[in-house]
Amino acid sequence: MTLIYLDNNTTAPPSPEVIRAMTPLLTTYWGSPMTPHQKGEELYPFLSKFYTTIYTCLGAQPNDQLVITSSGAEAVTHVISSIYRDVTLATGKNQFITSQLDEAASIMTITHLEPFGCVGKMGETMNGIISIEKLANSLSPRTALVSLSLANGLTGVVQPISEIATLCKERGIRLHVDITHAFGKLDCQFETLGVDYLTLHGEQIHGPRGVGILLVKQGIQCSPLIFGSADQGGMRAGSIPMANLAGIACALEEAIENRDFLCTETARLRNQLERGILKGFPSASVCFKKQERVPHCTTIFFPGIANESLLFSLHRKGICATIGGGNFQQLGILLSSAGIQQPLANQAISFSLSRYTTEEEIERAIPLIVESAKTLSSLSYPSFSIA
């Protein structure tokens, strides 16, 4: 049984080019750039090259601050924690706003600040999109930060960050945006987005596991999350992971080079997957199909079928998909927050393709998914139509 991998927003394999870029930094050039001898000095040309690549790919200015982290979750936690230390403690602004649909790092970090006098608020959504009007009404003189994902990793829905950035700028409120699921699919240039903090997790763009990026707008204070040395300009203690730095720089370049392909060919395969499932299992439907979505991701409802049962059945057939968990919220909880009624919210599966997904894999996946859905539907309680 050949595996069909359709869970690339949870994690994606590192590309061959990324592995090749990392190998010399794991074998020959294994030193630390902080050491005052040959093994440190020989890394300087690599540092300059990798940092230049990252700044260029992300559209950052030379004076913007770049921090290489161990994950996107660490980068998000760094932003929110620094706002508490740099803004809340200094000014008393203690309200932190994220979305009902956002990922675990933002929601849980904000929740962990509540015992320290902070107030977490979930921005309301409509059809998977944050309501600008309701967000504006939620903002107050005590709002310190709005923290959001540009695109949702389970549904693929894209948020109106441009409008939100304008709103936050007018109110003097700092804005953090995570671009993990949008980079290489949408315009994610730091300057263009107009945000104060930008974060990214590397493995979803075929980079190495265990690396994230934090960009901080020039002139904005951002105290370190991890203390102990002057590494990375005092922004994060611990030796710079040179191999991961090489890998993420390469992954960013590849993502940009393949953007047109992903937005056309991968989007075509995503649409083919949706059409094939709906044709074979007519009671299915695509979640938030009328909204702007990233081109590689879809969530499909299978009325009358518990998503855990369907996910297990697909696993037995060699198809990898997801119902959330880990860095994500559970898909059922997320969809309930977006206004999808129970039990339908717990009858959905998320699929995410990559530039390595082939048409042959999609053609093999469709009948297997339909077969599983039909089998489980015949064993399940009666389905119902979607209003």
Residues 248 and 344 grouped into a single domain: no
Residues 239 and 160 grouped into a single domain: yes
Q: What's the domain count of the chain? A: 2
Does residue 51 surpass a pLDDT of 50?
yes
Give percent of the chain above pLDDT 90: 79
Q: 256 or 235, which is more confident?
A: 256
Q: Residue 387's pLDDT is what?
A: 37
The number of helices, as runs of H, and strands, as runs of E, in the chain is: 15, 14
Per the structure, the complete domain to which residue 217 belongs is given by 16-257
Domain end call among 199, 226, 257: 257
CA–CA gap between residue 65 and residue 15 (Å, rounded)? 27
Q: Residue 325's pLDDT is what?
A: 85
Residues 149 and 250 grouped into a single domain: yes
Q: Residue 384's pLDDT is what?
A: 46
- Mean pLDDT estimate for the chain: 92
Render pLDDT for 175-226 as a digit per residue (tens, 0 to 9).
999 999 999 999 899 999 999 999 999 999 999 999 999 999 999 999 999 9
Asked whether the beta carbons of 72 and 201 are under 8 A apart, the reply is: yes
Q: Where are the beta strands (DSSP E) in the chain?
A: 4-5, 65-69, 95-99, 119-123, 125-126, 129-130, 143-149, 174-178, 197-201, 212-216, 285-286, 297-301, 319-320, 348-352
Least confident of 68-77, 78-87, 372-381: 372-381
Does residue 132 surpass a pLDDT of 50?
yes
Answer whether residue 233 is part of any domain: yes
Render pLDDT for 328-358 as a digit per residue (tens, 0 to 9).
889 999 999 888 999 999 999 999 999 999 9
Distances (CA, A) of 202 to 69, 206, 373: 10, 7, 33
Residues 80 and 143 grouped into a single domain: yes
Render pLDDT for 28-40 as a digit per residue (tens, 0 to 9).
988 888 788 888 8
Residues 159 and 269 grouped into a single domain: no
CA–CA gap between residue 23 and residue 29 (Å, rounded)? 9
Residues 174 and 196 grouped into a single domain: yes
Residues 94 and 58 grouped into a single domain: yes
Answer whether residue 21 is part of any domain: yes
Does residue 380 surpass a pLDDT of 90?
no
Answer whether residue 218 is part of any domain: yes
CA–CA gap between residue 212 and residue 67 (Å, rounded)? 8
Asked whether the beta carbons of 24 and 263 are under 8 A apart, the reply is: no
Residues 223 and 316 grouped into a single domain: no
Does residue 25 surpass a pLDDT of 50?
yes
Render pLDDT for 261-270 as a digit per residue (tens, 0 to 9).
999 999 999 9
Residues 250 and 101 grouped into a single domain: yes
Answer whether residue 197 is part of any domain: yes
Handedness of CA 105, 106, 111, 115 (dihedral sign): positive
Residues 369 and 306 grouped into a single domain: yes
State pTM to two decimals.
Answer: 0.93
Residues 64 and 24 grouped into a single domain: yes
Q: Which two tokens stand for residue 343?
A: 């039990």
pLDDT interval class at 381 (50, 70, 90): low
